[in-house]
Amino acid sequence: MEIIYKPTQDEIKKAAKALKDGHLVAFPTETVYGLGADATNEKAVGRIYSVKGRPTDHPLIVHISSISQLYKWAIEVPEYATKLAKSFWPGPMTLILKRSPLAKDFITGHQSLVGLRVPSHPISLMLIKELENLGANGIAAPSANRFGAVSATSVSAVIEELGTFLSTTDLVLDGGDSDVGIESTIIDCSGKFPNIMRPGLLSSEIIEEVCSEVLNFIPSDNIIKSSGLLKSHYSPAAQVVLEGQILPGEGFFAMAEIHTPPGAIRLGAPTSLEEFAKNLYAILRLADQKGLKRIKVVQPNGTGLAVAIRDRLVKAAANEH
């Protein structure tokens, strides 16, 4: 694998060509890093699954450059979905829509729906545009981590996760630390009302301002397979605990105003929810790097981003040890 630090426009063009030629390119987005392939190349998309170690019936998000590309991949787009796209793209929001014939089974996990997102990180946007300039239609990309593990929010985390699984012709683009730090809000737009499948920075309160009626985690008619919805996910090797006492020498992560229990190893002290989300996965990685067996994380209170943080923490803590 070749790592390109602070890629220039020419290097991003080269990465787009690599995608077109069927190679994988890990790239930065504002949420977490993605592991990308040309979304219409079955063989390349197949490699995403083997590099991640992910079951092939789990669908992938297609990353596109603008709302005009949406209609290539989706049909029967409801008015509220168009409103959402116009309001929040480019940005940390994925829409689940009825698929067009372009969205093949190897992207959708044999479901009749497709996930679409326009990311806002300038490197990801430029990469998608350059790929579209070569006649392709978007980048299929899950988070750039092994299946069930902690998402990568920096280039070093991508290498730690996937370095030994990528081949020499695959690329990794560096774009600094991810701004948001947790994955996009996923909204199922296949029904009469928007239904939030995975909470994120874009909260149900903000979505409600655009669409008057919003559902939260109501199972759809179609059983949607979404690996982020599995009970256990986002898990480091260290055991994550959310309640109870911890012992001296164990890890601790909480908002700055919460005191460190005696003897615990404090791994971070964010002063805002934004900072908590941005650092969360790096902190879970740090616990593993320090060889800690257990880390206690105090869940932040409140609505908005706090809901998304608690969602990830509950799943990280559900890992069986």
Q: Which residues bind ligand TXA (CB under 6 A)?
A: 29, 31-32, 34, 58-61, 94, 96, 108, 111, 113-115, 117, 119, 141-143, 183-184, 186, 224-228
Which segments of the chain does DSSP mark as H helices, in order? Answer: 9-20, 42-52, 67-73, 79-88, 105-108, 122-133, 155-162, 204-210, 273-289, 305-317
Euclidean distance between CA atoms 86 and 82, whole angstroms? 6
User: Which of 206, 202, 199, 182 has the alpha carbon at shortest distance from 277?
Assistant: 182
What are the φ and ψ backbone dihedral angles of 41, each rounded to 5 degrees?
-105, 100
Q: How far is CA 4 from CA 86, 148, 159, 234, in A?
A: 32, 26, 12, 26
Cis ω before 90 (30° cut-off from 0): yes
Torsion of CA 84, 89, 95, 101, to 10 degrees: 110
Decide: is 153 part of the binding site for Mg ion (CB under 5 A).
no
Q: Based on CB atoms, which residue is closest to Mg ion, 65 or 143?
A: 143
CB 183 within 8 A of CB 151: yes
* Residue number with CB closer to Mg ion (254 or 279): 279
User: Cβ distance 237 to 268 under 8 Å?
Assistant: no
* x-or-dash string of contact with Mg ion, 92-131, rule CB under 5 A: ----------------------------------------
Residue 128 or 211 with smaller CB distance to ligand TXA = 128
Residue nearer to Mg ion on the CB measure, 143 or 203: 143
Residue 251 binds which of Mg ion, ligand TXA, none (CB < 5-8 A, kind-dependent)? none
Q: Shortest approach of Mg ion to residue 75 CB, angstroms?
A: 26
Handedness of CA 155, 314, 216, 227 (dihedral sign): positive
The footprint of Mg ion on this chain (CB under 5 A) covers a number of residues equal to 1
CB of 269 to ligand TXA, least distance (A): 26
Minimum distance from residue 263 beta carbon to ligand TXA (Å): 36
Rule CB under 5 A: is residue 143 a binding residue for Mg ion?
yes
Q: How far is the CB of 233 from Mg ion (least distance, A)?
A: 7
Q: Smallest gap, in angstroms, from Cβ of residue 17 to ligand TXA?
A: 21
58 binds, among Mg ion, ligand TXA, none (CB under 5 to 8 A by kind): ligand TXA
Q: C-beta of 183: minimal distance to ligand TXA in Å?
A: 4
